[in-house]
Amino acid sequence: MVAALIPEEVLARLRAAERVLVLTGAGISAESGVPTFRDAQTGLWAKYRAEELATPEAFAANPRLVWDWYAWRRELVAQAEPNAGHRALVALEERYADFQLVTQNVDGLHARAGSSDVVELHGNITQNLCFAEGTPVDAHAHGSSVPPRCPRCGAYLRPGVVWFGEALPREALARAEQAARRSEVVLSIGTSGLVHPAAGLPLTARAHGAFVIEVNPTATPLTPHADQVLSGPAGQILPELAALL
């Protein structure tokens, strides 16, 4: 493996910092074999745009189609294992007294890697909610219809994720915004920076004086605003970074 060149300023900022925020997106799980959100459509699903399936309107119009898409993705996630990038963030968490990991990912791989405090902004794909009431429900216990029905009210169950046009979980967003305001260094890892309000967190942090480091093989809307860009795969860069600190 070719060593990524980590600028000395990145190491110096991370060594000096006491408060660190990490924001992750789908790119950190790519090396676990979980397709990124905007690359997810392959095989049977290639004719659909992910953005058009991840909405309450799409579910209302065709619940079976959207449920089946999530069933397929749940299977991919169940077969995936955390990678070296996820594990490097566990090591970073252990280094800092004030470390907040905020993820847009719904795959649960940070927790499976061993991160102990993960703010999940967009929910978790393993969970289910009643589509009518928004309450958590265990799908396996309730019948064979597709999608399964809520045992309380009979409405369809839906995956426990946040779709376009829906509010993010209030406490999760509040914790993420607080961390953005107090952190000295922010790592934005494997996210296209297209989806708000998550995409605004590094910019909020920067406006409050944080040093912003982006880790991504591709430029994003954040790139011109980042103080340093580590261009490459998270599964290579993050372990090198953690080892050098």
Residues forming the site for ligand BJW (CB under 6 A): 25-27, 30-31, 36-38, 54, 104, 106, 122, 161-167, 190-192, 194-197, 215-218, 220, 233-235
Query: Taking the complex as a whole, how short is the minimal distance between the CB of residue 208 and ligand BJW, in angstroms?
Result: 19
User: Among residues 86, 110, 122, 142, which one is catalytic?
Assistant: 122
In the complex with ligand BJW, the residue whose CB is nearer, 197 or 209, is 197
H/E run at residue 228: strand 228-230
Q: How far is the CB of 105 from ligand BJW (least distance, A)?
A: 6
Q: Which residues contact 79 (CB under 8 A, 6 or more apart)?
A: 33
Among 159, 166, 162, 156, which Cα is nearest to 70's?
159
Of residues 120 and 184, the one with the C-beta less far from ligand BJW: 120
Side-chain-side CA neighbours of 65 within 13 Å: the count stands at 17
- Identify which of residues 150 and 187 has a Cβ nearer to ligand BJW in the complex: 187
Q: Judged by CB, which is closer to ligand BJW: 1, or 141?
A: 1
Best CA proximity match to 195, nearest among 151, 163, 154: 163
Nearer to ligand BJW, 19 or 231 (CB): 231
- Confirm whether 122 is a catalytic residue: yes
Q: What is the DSSP string of 122-188?
A: TEEEEEEEETTT--B--GGGS-S-SS-B-TTT-PBEEEEEPPTTSPPPHHHHHHHHHHHHH-SEEEE
Shortest distance (Å) from residue 103 CB to ligand BJW:
8
Cβ 29 to ligand BJW shortest distance, Å: 9
Q: How far is CA 14 from CA 21, 183, 230, in A?
A: 11, 11, 14
Instruction: Determine the Cα angle at 143 with ends 142 and 146, to 5°.
Output: 105
Shortest approach of ligand BJW to residue 9 CB, angstroms? 20
Distances (CA, A) of 178 to 17, 25, 100, 199: 17, 19, 10, 15
Residues annotated as catalytic (active site), given as ranges? 122
